[in-house]
Structure 1
Amino acid sequence: MKLKLLALGFGLATLPLAASPTQPGGEHKDTDTIIKPQFLDLEAIDLKDHPVAARLDSLLYLNFFQATAEEFSTLDSNFLADGELPDWHDSVYEARLKELDALSPMDLDYNPVVRSFIDLYSKRRREQVSRMLGLARYYFPLFEQTLDKYNMPLELKYLAVVESALNPTARSRVGAAGLWQFMYSTGKLNGLSVNSYVDERHDPIKSTEAACRYLTTLYNIFGDWNLALAAYNSGPGNVNKAIRRSGGQTNYWAIRPFLPRETAGYVPAFIAVNYIMNYHEEHLLFATDIKPSFFSTDTVVIREKVSFEQLSKLIAMDEEELLFLNPAYRYKVIPKVSNHAYRIVLPSDKVGLFIANEDSIYSIAENDFAKNKTVAPAVVEMNDRIRHKVRRGEVLGTIAEKYGVSVSSIRRWNGLRGNTIRVGQRLTIYPRRMPSSSTVASNSSSSSQTKTSTDGKYEMYRVRSGETFYSIARKYPGVSAQNIMSWNGINNAKRLKVGMTLKIYPQS
């Protein structure tokens, strides 16, 4: 099977889509010649799947996956005014939780604290709960499959609701990330890696495995699921301290007054989520923004570098859906790393199309990268956190850009109320990328000269006709006009003159 492709520069080229499954006589053909045009128009490419395999995929979908969609309603849960929402006596809530408790090895107690969290989810967070009910269609089967593998209570799937509201890209103020909110060090201890391209804490499959391993370890230590949950939230050390301060009690409710404030609400919130996800219809809460069924997806190993944009065009798939299914890839690019295989999740009906055209997809991607060259970061393993020493000329904006984080995050990590920092100050940073070791090149060799002082590298920039502090600052990423004025002891922009030399500390 061959496909006509538009090859800019030398007319039409022919690119085989995939090797045919058999040759005459039944002999299998493993490879086919891939012609690499210099420039490809991705929009003009129409890859085809093998018709027999595609028909079998369709039958599988009809028999196994389509029926699951009927379990979810798309009714709008927000059409009622607050005064019309159902509200029951405590005895109703208690009876319902007793039914759930009887089916679970976990202790799902009812009390006023749990009731307050039920009210929170059923009244004030209705829109969020409806969205999570839609997300549950994809995530809960994945969670249940992994929990069953580790012989753990299936109710623990609701823990991800408390942790991240089922948002795989969630990140807390202290740097915890993903569906299960792993800090870097805890994630690494449980097999999750982070580099400049991939953060496995955001990978639903790998992070769920890690969460199950960690929760199993905590349960083996404390012998109680509620204490294991408390330890998951605040660390086993804090739970042990609370046990000591309570006089040796090992019941969650007995040690609760001695736990950190956030952890004191953690288990009650977990119990409330168990309730609301099982009795959402009684509260007139229904799923919105329903996601695809987990059972209608599959994984494939990627052997060469390819981007989400390329895949979305080549296999006719929405890029946002690719991102939803594969949130661990920071730059929407699956890198190629020796001795490491990366995988992506695709809808089942796209997996066959990808496999049938895999070699051609890699060839097209390679040429597309060559055509649209961009500066991409190297694949660098990240650390838990770094301590950055502020150098002369640096501001929070340049530091934030250097490490791929926000200014507000740096302020939060370091307890800063404003943007003022001082030379020599050390800042705690949880980097999303590591900076290049090279400094920014000067914009014009004729107008600037790099020198070194005890405060670091700087450039002497000669002002040309028509330039302003603002136009000069724009030549140096992360540098502001106010920075340049401050470095040169100038408090009035009108003092800038043609031929004046300015000291500038470019971002490194």
Structure 2
Amino acid sequence: MIVKKLSLVVSAFFSLAVCAQETAKADIELKPEVKLSYLDSIKSTFKKNDLAAKVDSLWMNELVSLDIYDDLTKDIQTINKDVTVDEELPTELLKQRLAAMNQKSPFEIEYNQGLENIIKSFLKNRKKSFSRLMALSEYYFPIFEDAFAKQNVPLEIKYLAVVESALNPKAVSKMGATGLWQFMYGTGKQYALKIDSYIDERSDPLKATAAASEYMTKMFNIFGDWELVLASYNSGPGNVTKAIRRSGGKTKYWDIRNYLPKETQGYVPAFLATMYLFEYHKEHGINPERAVVKNFETDTVAVKNQMSFKQLADLLDMPQSQIQLLNPSYKMGVVPFYQGEQHFIRLPKDKVATFVSNEEQIYAYVKYDKDFRATSSRLAVKYAPKAKPAAVKPAPVDNGDFEFYKVRKGDNLGAIAAKYDVNISDIKKWNNLKTNAVAIGRSLKIKAEEEAPVKAVPAVVDKEQAIASAENKEKTAVDMDYVVVAGDNLGSIAKKFGTTIAELKELNNLTSNNIGLGKTLIISKAAIVIEEPTSTAIASNSVDSFKKKAPSKNVSEDYYVKKGDSLYSISKKYPGVTISDIKKWNGIKDEDIKPGMKLKING
């Protein structure tokens, strides 16, 4: 009896084990195959350095915001140093602190009522701005101090960049002064800063700081007074010389201040007020808002071929805004290649490690991407349908390519631009914004790709005509699907396939921009797909999401009606198909069709 029970237990155990194995096998079989794009297949071969420190994305979002520059510049230009400001700071205590600063500085830091008013004004109205500026300074100040130490320039002049540009390397004044140190075009050229269509070294923190250091040294040799050096930096040495003459030959800033241009009269006090707030920020409850990444946690790598920030961002899994922040001198989001010159890209150290370890694959992808776009453009031009010239009409302000974002508390243009992977200047242009300030509750128009790449295939291309391509590339008419992978969003997918967010949402009946990982999206109908080049080792191992499918003559196909379609134009897309066929297959009595309507096409 015991043996019989034991047999039953053993038998039941083995049955459960077999059942579990079959269930596991079924689960494995039911898992959908995830298609990899060419880009993802290359990235899967990358060697990665997981021990390297990561950059805090919240801090990066803070860095790409430009709104402090507008606010601080307006304050410095309009602040009235003669109006008393009601803010808790005893005058005697301020005098003591200024005297302590004066002892360890080559600047003559003396108390006066105008300086007290500016300090109190900053404390009352700009505490949050200075908190953010201190986070920025953790990155930029080491660069400034290194350059100034080489030229024996007072390190305190680093605070001048706060007054000049609010530590924004892309800042541009109304007069065209550019960069952290606000060089005009002529001055930039005078100090050997390269300025062309691709590069503006006035925005390069290292080179622009070296130029500013050289300027300061020359001006000190002329005036022998650092306050007058600052005044000449703001208004030019000519205005300082005139002020000296008008004052009767006096050579101290505070003695000639009233003879200087109005803006320069508040310029040096604003510099000293900034120095005070940085020195005594803890006493006033001002601390950096974000975790910071210091300069030594980034490094540069030489780039051997032209590549775009978009390509780098895709390959290295980092936002374009972060690359723009670290490389502000590249004007068009492209690292150019000039024969006989070297260009460098600055990246977080973990990304530098990834780049250097995988250079061959990276340059292979860049070449592939360039060739693919060139071929797509040629085919689009060659097979574009001929149409009668139409009268040029102004583009509508709002169309299907735009979506709307409602500004919430804590938002700024930098964070919103990073969210949609677009530039701040684009958001300002789409919404006619003059400044970087945005009101809470305002709806902003966002366009994920302002100028979408030319589609590989126009929707109206005839199948037989496409097969006769002069490029001898193999093409096939297919329904194009794409499986969503990690890091995707509708904007990046639309850009990858040369379509728009609106078209993707229409084709897939999406009511929002949220897409789940692993979801299969319809990209287009009856599109032409170009076979990938296999000249590189990586290409042969890739499984592209838009791999060709063999055509079948006796299989029904769905077609989604687009704006401007008619039954006649649709029938022309399918050889041998007539209007009456489409009406019969879809039970249509008249020729009234609407965009988004699904039509069945047989044969």
**TM-score, normalised to structure 1's length?**
0.59
Q: Which residue number in structure 1 is paired with residue 43 of structure 2?
A: 45
**SS of residue in 2 equivalent to 1:265:** helix
CA separation in 2, counterparts of 1:296 and 1:374? 40
| 8 Å Cα contact 1:179-1:204 kept in structure 2 | yes
Deviation at 1:282, TM superposition (A): 1.5
| 8 Å Cα contact 1:197-1:333 kept in structure 2 | yes
Q: Which residue number in structure 2 is paired with residue 208 of structure 1?
A: 209
Deviation at 1:252, TM superposition (A): 0.4
Structure 2 counterpart of 1:146, which letter? Answer: A
Q: 1:86 to 1:268 in 2, by over 3 A?
A: closer
CA separation in 2, counterparts of 1:46 and 1:329? 29
Considering only CA atoms, is the larger Rg found in Structure 1 or Structure 2?
2
Structure 1 counterpart of 2:259, which letter? Answer: F
Structure 2 counterpart of 1:48, which letter? Answer: F
TM alignment of 1:298-447, pairs within 5 A: 298-373=299-374
Structure 2 counterpart of 1:229, which letter? Answer: L
Structure 2 counterpart of 1:225, which letter? Answer: W
| 8 Å Cα contact 2:89-2:120 kept in structure 1 | no
Structure 2 counterpart of 1:182, which letter? Answer: F
Q: Which residue number in structure 1 is paired with residue 180 of structure 2?
A: 179
Q: 1:107 to 1:373 in 2, by over 3 A?
A: farther
Q: Which residue number in structure 1 is paired with residue 144 of structure 2?
A: 143
Q: Which residue number in structure 1 is paired with residue 88 of structure 2?
A: 87
CA separation in 2, counterparts of 1:176 and 1:166? 14
Q: Which residue number in structure 1 is paired with residue 257 of structure 2?
A: 256
Structure 2 counterpart of 1:177, which letter? Answer: T
The one-character-per-residue Cα deviations of 1:4-53 (angstroms, maximum 9, x if unpaired) are: xxxxxxxx99xxxxxxxxxxxxxxxxxxxxxxxxx9335762353376xx
Q: Which residue number in structure 1 is paired with residue 131 of structure 2?
A: 130
Range 285-294 or range 134-143, more displaced: 285-294
**SS of residue in 1 equivalent to 2:210:** helix
The one-character-per-residue Cα deviations of 1:278-326 (angstroms, maximum 9, x if unpaired) are: 1112111121244421111111121110111111121222222111111
| 8 Å Cα contact 2:153-2:216 kept in structure 1 | no
TM alignment of 1:148-297, pairs within 5 A: 148-297=149-298
The one-character-per-residue Cα deviations of 1:320-378 (angstroms, maximum 9, x if unpaired) are: 21111111111211011112211111111221211111232122112212223499xxx
| 8 Å Cα contact 1:49-1:357 kept in structure 2 | yes
Structure 1 counterpart of 2:258, which letter? Answer: P
CA separation in 1, counterparts of 2:182 and 2:113? 27
Q: 1:139 to 1:265 in 2, by over 3 A?
A: same
Q: Which residue number in structure 2 is paired with residue 482 of structure 1?
A: none
Structure 1: give runs of 5+ residues left out of the alignment.
Answer: 1-11, 14-38, 70-84, 376-403, 413-508
Q: 1:269 to 1:335 in 2, by over 3 A?
A: same
| 8 Å Cα contact 2:87-2:120 kept in structure 1 | no
- Length, aligned pairs only: 320
Structure 1 counterpart of 2:105, which letter? Answer: S
| 8 Å Cα contact 1:42-1:313 kept in structure 2 | no
Structure 2 counterpart of 1:296, which letter? Answer: E
**SS of residue in 1 equivalent to 2:180:** coil
| 8 Å Cα contact 1:305-1:362 kept in structure 2 | no
Structure 1 counterpart of 2:332, which letter? Answer: Y
**SS of residue in 2 equivalent to 1:212:** helix
| 8 Å Cα contact 2:247-2:255 kept in structure 1 | yes
Deviation at 1:166, TM superposition (A): 0.6
| 8 Å Cα contact 2:204-2:329 kept in structure 1 | yes
Q: Which residue number in structure 2 is paired with residue 99 of structure 1?
A: 100
Q: Which residue number in structure 1 is paired with residue 580 of structure 2?
A: none
The one-character-per-residue Cα deviations of 1:118-154 (angstroms, maximum 9, x if unpaired) are: 1222111122111101101101111111111111111
Structure 1 counterpart of 2:350, which letter? Answer: D
Q: 1:359 to 1:120 in 2, by over 3 A?
A: farther
Structure 2: give runs of 5+ residues left out of the alignment.
Answer: 1-34, 60-85, 377-425, 435-603
**TM-score, normalised to structure 2's length?**
0.50
